[in-house]
Amino acid sequence: MVTSTLQRVVLVAKHASFQSRCCVVSSRVQYSTVYDSNEKTFDKILIANRGEIACRVMKTCKKMGIKTVAVHSDVDASAVHVKMADEAVCVGPAPTNKSYLNMDAIMDAIRKTGSQAVHPGYGFLSENKEFAKRLAAEDVVFIGPDTHAIHAMGDKIESKLLAKAANVNVIPGFDGVVEDAVKIAGEIGYPVMIKASAGGGGKGMRIAWNDDETREGFRLSSQEAASSFGDDRLLIEKFVDNPRHIEIQVLADKHGNALWLNERECSIQRRNQKVVEEAPSTFLDPETRRAMGEQAVQLAKAVQYSSAGTVEFLVDSNKNFYFLEMNTRLQVEHPITECITGLDLVQQMIRVAKGFPLLHKQEDIPINGWAIESRVYAEDPYKSFGLPSIGRLSQYQEPINLPKVRVDSGIQEGSDISIYYDPMISKLVTYGATRAEALQRMEDALDNYVIRGVTHNIPLLREIITHPRFISGDITTNFLPEEYPEGFKGHQLTSEGRRELVATAAALYVSAQLRSQRFLVKVEVSGEWNLASALLPVTINRTPRVLQCLSRDAGGDITLQYLGTQFKVRVLSQLVSTLSAHMPEKVPEDTSSILRSPMPGSVVAVSVKPGDVVAEGQEICVIEAMKMQNSLIAAKAAKVKSVHCKAGETVGEGDLLVQLE
């Protein structure tokens, strides 16, 4: 309800202009990607992947005049990547082990379509040496490194030994296969990192600060590793406190040439998975950048690497850096490197796979401007910074009308986000001459991104990129838990922001009633109100903003997406407001006595039965969602009254799992 106490508010958002002292920004790109039609590579490429990365590879193939073949599961029959390809072959039902990981079916698709080469994207079979061997046996080119490099770098234990031999800085730890985790952790010294030997993407990783956490982390990481990679071997190494996660993009050919294409800062993470990345890093100076780049190339040459790959490092506060792992594939965040170098990495991979030498020298590689990538997920950011959400995109509109915005996606309005695959909706990329410019464009792009039908993480992304600490460049991999120790709660409104929100909701309400366009209620709100549009460009006290009206009803309830976060506002007449005070309120459910599933997933294990007495914090069950293991615990000490799930069952968000007395 709008009252006379509303005051005029002027809210000016200012971002500090942060230019890394190490970065030489040229006034123009030194070169740009040229697609030479006379340079023959392949006639037809099969993309052994799905979603946005399959679409991304197809776009470059189309520019190079190469025909493409999509593979898909039965539930993906109408997916965007299937429609984009020249041909498409179904390789099995929805579960990944029966479709996108089904090597026999994919090999049949290659033979059936006469594909000369395969691009694996990332995930699935991208780092599977057996798949690469099977392709080679049938004279089909694998667009990636040779099998020996995949094998060497795919095993964290072997890769660490090779890195040592190549004079690459490594983290102290235990190099063998772990048998007694507690003993080894004690010898290394806490905290330690427990990691799946064959892992990647944050799966099979846990930090342990004591013996009990080591035992639990070893068990969960082992299960997660077996589920995700079919290999439950683990390793343990010293955990670098307050680290930055900075990676170097490398590119090498089959003629002994190798380049480093600058760095990407990937420190903003949740559960060891990246959320926001940028290139270049605000932290590196020219000397550290060069040292990291040279060591990355040393490692690539040591394993005779050929293709695009990424060497990941942990960097401490004194700029000491340590080898973490090498990903022998294209990275999710490769677009930001493309933005600052002018290179098309997919094109480079295809050229190298055909046997062409690299066209550029190390001195040719620029840092031109700044690029930011936000990973837009179908996730609930209010639960552990992002637990998966499933559903159908009832409305979907990408902000590609804005300048210097790139959206890599593989979905469209009407697409389903299912439990079977990664919950990524898109990679939202913005770039500019300076970091401040790229950040402002990211803020605008997030405000103009329309996603309805699933819960998404735009509220978290927007809070990150507008956070003073992020803007200053003072970040580590601990950023989220440090800044939101009680969990993410959405944008916290100031009194001025609250007045803006209420005034806008009131203006929207009156606009719907009277179809007016301009309102003055102490806070000035104006705009061209198109109530059928998903986006509401408005001017609030002379400050332009873009809001989204997610819902409104005749009773005055309005849900607005404002500054990235959803807010519920009720606009009532004076009479209705007076009467509503007498309406009974619904008593919220006592969640301390029940355990509901916080996400859709499958039950991996149930640790209790009726009659058991559990302690506060004791594990009740383990739910797997998108190949991640999540341990659910008791909120209080109590006796188990009933158990409503069992291992192997699929559960939905909010399903009752266990009831306590």
pLDDT digits (tens, 9 = 90+) for 69-116: 999 999 999 999 999 999 999 999 998 999 999 999 999 999 999 999
Confidence band of 245 (pLDDT split at 50, 70, 90): very high
The Cα 497–Cα 103 span in angstroms is 55
pLDDT at 152: 92
The Cα 31–Cα 343 span in angstroms is 8
Domains 156-171+243-368 and 373-482 share a fold: yes
Q: Are 118 and 136 in contact (CB under 8 A)?
A: no
Please give the helix or strand (H or E) that residue 246 lies within, else none: strand 244-252
Return the CATH fold of 156-171+243-368. D-amino Acid Aminotransferase; Chain A, domain 1 (3.30.470)
The Cα 503–Cα 1 span in angstroms is 9
pLDDT at 514: 66
DSSP 367: B
Give residue-wise pLDDT tens across range 218-239.
888 888 877 767 778 888 888 8
Please give the helix or strand (H or E) that residue 278 lies within, else none: strand 273-279
Phi first, then psi, for residue 366 (nearest 5°) are: -95, 165
Q: Are 405 and 429 in contact (CB under 8 A)?
A: yes
* DSSP state string for 476-495: -TTHHHHH-TT--------H
Confidence band of 1 (pLDDT split at 50, 70, 90): very low
Q: What is the CATH number of domain 44-143?
A: 3.40.50.20
Give the residue-averaged pLDDT of 610-630: 86
Q: Record the pTM.
A: 0.83
Give residue-wise pLDDT tens across range 176-190.
777 888 999 998 889
Rounded alpha-carbon distances, angstroms, from residue 442 to 59, 207, 281, 370: 23, 32, 17, 12
Q: How many helices (H) and strands (E) does the chain have?
A: 17, 37
Instruction: List the structure tokens of 629.
Output: 């293991």
Confidence band of 18 (pLDDT split at 50, 70, 90): very low
List the one residue out of 447, 460, 420 whose CA is nearest residue 543.
447
pLDDT at 168: 97
Q: Where are the beta strands (DSSP E) in 597-643?
A: 601-606, 613-614, 619-625, 628-633, 638-643
* DSSP state string for 312-366: EEEE-TTS-EEEEEEE-S--TTHHHHHHHH---HHHHHHHHHHTPPPS--GGG--
Q: At what angle do helices 435-447 and 458-465 cross, to 10 degrees?
A: 150
Please give the helix or strand (H or E) that residue 595 lies within, else none: strand 594-596
Confidence band of 501 (pLDDT split at 50, 70, 90): very high
Is domain 173-238 given the CATH code 3.30.1490.20 in the classification? yes
pLDDT at 128 over 70: yes
Please give the helix or strand (H or E) that residue 467 lies within, else none: none
The Cα 309–Cα 330 span in angstroms is 6
pLDDT at 561 over 60: yes
The Cα 21–Cα 343 span in angstroms is 24
Average pLDDT over the chain reads 89
- For the chain, the structural domain boundaries read 44-143, 156-171+243-368, 173-238, 373-482, 496-521, 525-581, 594-660
pLDDT at 13: 27
CA angle 427, 430, 431 (to 5 degrees): 140
Q: Are 76 and 52 in contact (CB under 8 A)?
A: no
Catalytic residues, by residue number, are 329
pLDDT at 2: 33
pLDDT at 240: 83
Q: What is the CATH number of domain 594-660?
A: 2.40.50.100
256 class by beta-carbon count within 10 Å (0-12 exposed, 13-18 middle, 19+ buried)? exposed
Give the residue-averaged pLDDT of 315-340: 95
Is domain 373-482 given the CATH code 3.30.470.20 in the classification? yes
CA-based torsion, 405, 410, 416, 417: positive or negative: negative
Confidence band of 520 (pLDDT split at 50, 70, 90): low
pLDDT at 658 over 80: yes
Question: Amino acid identity, residue 559?
Answer: T
pLDDT at 507: 85
The Cα 172–Cα 238 span in angstroms is 6
Nearest 10 degrees: Cα torsion 332, 338, 344, 349:
-50
pLDDT at 171: 86
pLDDT at 30: 37
Rounded alpha-carbon distances, angstroms, from residue 535 to 175, 515, 560: 54, 17, 10
